[in-house]
Amino acid sequence: MVAYTSLTPIDLATVERRFGLPPITSVEAFAEGQENSNYHLQAGERDYVLTVCETKTVAEAQTLAETLRHLEAHGFETTRVIPTVDGAMQADLNGRPLLLKSYLEGEVVDRLPLEAMAPVGRAMARLHQVPVPDFVPNQLSFGRQTFAHMRERFGRAHPFLDWLETVERFLEAHLPDELPRALIHADVFADNVILTPADGPVIMDFEEAANYARVLDLGMAFVGTCYPDGVRDDAARRELLSGYGSVVTLSDTEKDALDAATVYAAAGMASWRFWQFNVVQPHVGKQEHYRELQQIAIDLLQA
């Protein structure tokens, strides 16, 4: 169970002291994330995002902070991590890692407008040109390596877990092992893109960043931005690919693997939702939340 943090006056004083902020004059909670508590702070003349990592270890929070610093160092536009007064990239709040980040002015929407898709594709391509740091993982937290382990740990038969075996056989046949890798976001859903008035769409929340096949990043972006209400939007998909292709040229092997990568992305994220809401947080009442993503994969498998 994720216990979300409510900030007390003592907590806010700790934040001010650790990060050298002037008095905090406004605190607004964002919608609860799956693994973090996030707040919009105002202090002095500046705005910030405060993230309390509810489930991350100190090491995992450090990896996220270092990823954001790495992206900043290479000129990639996203949120910036703000160090503490002693130069650390995270602090501690009641035993939980605490990150302070820059605030991006803009809007997060459920469905990205068509005119935003090519810029998102270009941003993904620029991300894939950033050198891969040695501290990001070489596999996905929801990747194929988790499927069999999930079946073993669940402790009983379930149709979804049986279906994952079908997906694994498909991926073995249609997704080559040696595809070009890059630093990928791995979770480009609409709610991880902010539409800013100054810079257009900006990709944020690099919690799942990894050194992995770049077509998987595209497949995940298709799943997360091109299936409003579960229906494939081919125009959005074309715009995303067009924007990406204006910066990075995919190989023929990668182009042939795009549908398989989309199956992988949909099935992998469906497996995460299945586990999260049937095992980790069953009280949330989202036991069937995985089905929409599973259906995307099923439709592609049957095409």
* Predicted pLDDT at 128: 98
Domain boundaries of the chain, sorted by first residue: 9-102, 114-302
- Average pLDDT of the residues of the chain: 95
* The pairing of beta strand 210-213 with beta strand 193-196: unpaired
* Predicted pLDDT at 229: 87
Say if residue 34's pLDDT is above 70: no
Contact 91, 53 (CB under 8 A): no
274 CB neighbour count, 10 Å cutoff: 23
Four-CA torsion 125, 131, 132, 133, nearest 10 degrees: -140
- Using only C-alpha atoms, the chain has a radius of gyration, in whole angstroms, of 20
Positive/negative CA dihedral, 292, 32, 210, 251 = positive
Extract the tokens encoding 7.
Answer: 């900030």
What does the angle CA 97 – CA 99 – CA 105 come to, to the nearest 5 degrees? 150
* Predicted pLDDT at 24: 97
Reported as a single tens digit per residue, the pLDDT across 255-296 is 999 999 999 999 999 999 999 999 988 988 899 999 999 999
Q: 279: which DSSP letter?
A: I
Rounded Cα–Cα distance for residues 246 and 223 (Å): 21
* Confidence bin at 32 (pLDDT 50/70/90): low
pTM above 0.75, yes or no: yes
Q: What whole-number percentage of the chain has pLDDT above 70?
A: 98
- Topology of domain 114-302 in CATH is Aminoglycoside 3'-phosphotransferase; Chain: A, domain 2 (3.90.1200)
Q: What whole-number percentage of the chain has pLDDT above 90?
A: 91
* CATH number of this structure's domain 9-102: 3.30.200.20
Task: Tell me if domain 9-102 and domain 114-302 are identical in fold.
Answer: no
Extract the tokens encoding 243.
Answer: 């924007």
